[in-house]
Amino acid sequence: MPMLQVSIWRGREQGGYVDYEVPRHASQTVLDVVTHVQRHLEPSLAYRFACRVGMCGSCAMSVNGVARWTCRTHVADVAVGDRLQVAPLANLPVVKDLVTDMREFFDKWARAKGTFQSRRTRDDDFARVPPSSPARKLADAGIECIGCGVCYASCDVVAWRPDFLGPAALNRAWTLVNDERDIAQHERLRAVAGDAGCHACHTQGSCVERCPKHLAPAAAIAGLKRVTARAAMRGKL
């Protein structure tokens, strides 16, 4: 049976790669490989997954140096010869082995005012938002984010500027900026403007390149730059 040589990160911030030999199969995913190692070779290996079908976003890891969903990545597409390297996502603290601490990532969503705020109550009628309205279309373009952290791990600005809110949080903010029901627009624009916000982005586009959902956080950030500039020039920021 053909074998795959897999190097997997073991440890925390300090640690090293350990090599394992895993049998290759047709249509095998990287998550299958990691699962094989944990079930048969290294029971103490820590990793995170849930749905296995690209819906939950919890199995993102760095595969051969590139952040990916391991459940939707075929070994045949990424293995170099018979070798594969699997590491925890970059730009996040490592809890153990392949598991990262996502707290800072999601705290930044909160810092970017990524929470929907409405004036309506359950007693009010539904808001009617035409799906064809320009703002709704802009919101729709970014709304499918499932918070996997692939863009955040791929962003060089996050790497050199740890306080940068990052592509996912800013993308979330942009969907709410375009939500006509939301009432926290002023606070949100203030939260996303400046050195730690949209103005730190250099539009390198790794987030767009790597997003497994094919979203464009860089375009969302460009939108935030336009809207914050408009507000600032009117003295409303």
**What residues make contact with another protein under the rule CB under 8 A?**
160-161, 163, 189-190, 192-197, 199, 225, 228-233, 237
Q: How far is the CB of 69 from another protein (least distance, A)?
A: 31
Q: How far is the CB of 226 from another protein (least distance, A)?
A: 9
Q: Which is nearer to another protein, 196 or 219 (CB)?
A: 196
Q: How far is the CB of 155 from another protein (least distance, A)?
A: 14
- The two tokens of residue 102 are 């996502």
Burial 113-139 (b: 16+ CB within 10 A, else e): bbeeeeeeeeeeeeeeeeeeeeebebb
Q: Which is nearer to another protein, 57 or 114 (CB)?
A: 114
Q: How far is the CB of 171 from another protein (least distance, A)?
A: 18
Q: Which is nearer to another protein, 25 or 199 (CB)?
A: 199
Question: Are residues 171 and 232 in contact, defined by beta-carbon separation less than 8 angstroms?
Answer: no
- The two tokens of residue 149 are 């952290």
Q: How far is the CB of 166 from another protein (least distance, A)?
A: 15
Residue 180, helix vs strand vs coil: coil
Q: Which is nearer to another protein, 56 or 229 (CB)?
A: 229
| Alpha carbons within 13 A on the beta-carbon side of 165 | 32
Q: Which is nearer to another protein, 148 or 165 (CB)?
A: 165
Q: Which is nearer to another protein, 40 or 186 (CB)?
A: 186
Residues paired with residue 61 on neighbouring β-strands, in sequence order: 68
Q: How far is the CB of 202 from another protein (least distance, A)?
A: 9
**d(Cα 62, Cα 92) in Å, to the nearest integer?**
11
**d(Cα 37, Cα 132) in Å, to the nearest integer?**
49
Q: Which is nearer to another protein, 10 or 190 (CB)?
A: 190
Kindly report the three-state secondary structure assignment for every residue of 72-137. HCEHHHHCECCEEEEECCCCCCEEECCEECCHHHHHHHHHCCCCCCCCCCCCCCCCCCCCCCHHHH
* DSSP structure string for 159-177: HH-TT---HHHHHHHHHHH
Q: How far is the CB of 214 from another protein (least distance, A)?
A: 27
